[in-house]
């Protein structure tokens, strides 16, 4: 499983020095309200002004990730159901399952 939408948004903001924190908070709020398409649209606008190749590559990767996964990114609904948001819980569960399977096979 890959990085969560929040993590990718934060990475993009860090790559762009201006208004990092404000932009990240706006995107986080949009995610919580289920407005993934708005984040995609804003990333496309920023992409037009990107000067550094590494920033452009990060933006293109984020846009593709969000477009490919927006149908799964219902953070507004998940929050109402008190479900965890992000890949941390899933990564931990996957690791624990793999680890237990490894232990069983070794014994």
Q: Dmax of the chain from CA atoms?
A: 57
Burial class (CB in 10 A: 0-12, 13-18, 19+), 86: middle
- Of the two residues 5 and 55, the one the predictor is more confident about is 55
Number of domains in the chain: 1
For residue 36, the tally of other CB atoms under 10 A from its CB is: 22
Answer for the pair 13, 25: CB distance below 8 angstroms, yes or no. Answer: no
Structure tokens at 40: 């995609």
Q: Which tens digit of pLDDT belongs to each residue from 4-39?
A: 666 666 666 665 555 667 787 888 899 889 999 999
Query: Distance between CA atoms of 52 and 81, rounded to whole angstroms?
Result: 40
Name which residue leads in pLDDT, 87 or 30. Answer: 30
Question: Domain span at residue 55?
Answer: 5-106
Q: Quick one: pLDDT at residue 35?
A: 94
pLDDT single digits (tens) 94-104:
555 555 554 45
Closest CA to 51 of 5, 18, 24, 10: 18
40 close to 59: Cβ distance less than 8 angstroms = no
């Amino acid at each position: 499983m890959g990085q969560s939408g929040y993590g990718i948004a934060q990475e993009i903001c860090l790559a762009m020095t201006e208004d990092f924190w404000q932009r990240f908070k706006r995107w986080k709020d949009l995610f919580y309200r289920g407005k993934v398409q708005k984040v995609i649209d804003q990333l496309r606008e920023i992409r037009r002004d990107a000067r550094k190749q590494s920033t452009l590559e990060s933006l293109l990767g984020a846009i593709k990730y969000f477009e490919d996964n927006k149908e799964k990114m219902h953070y507004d609904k998940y929050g109402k159901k008190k479900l965890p948001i992000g890949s941390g819980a899933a990564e931990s569960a996957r690791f624990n399952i793999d680890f237990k399977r490894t232990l069983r096979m070794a014994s």
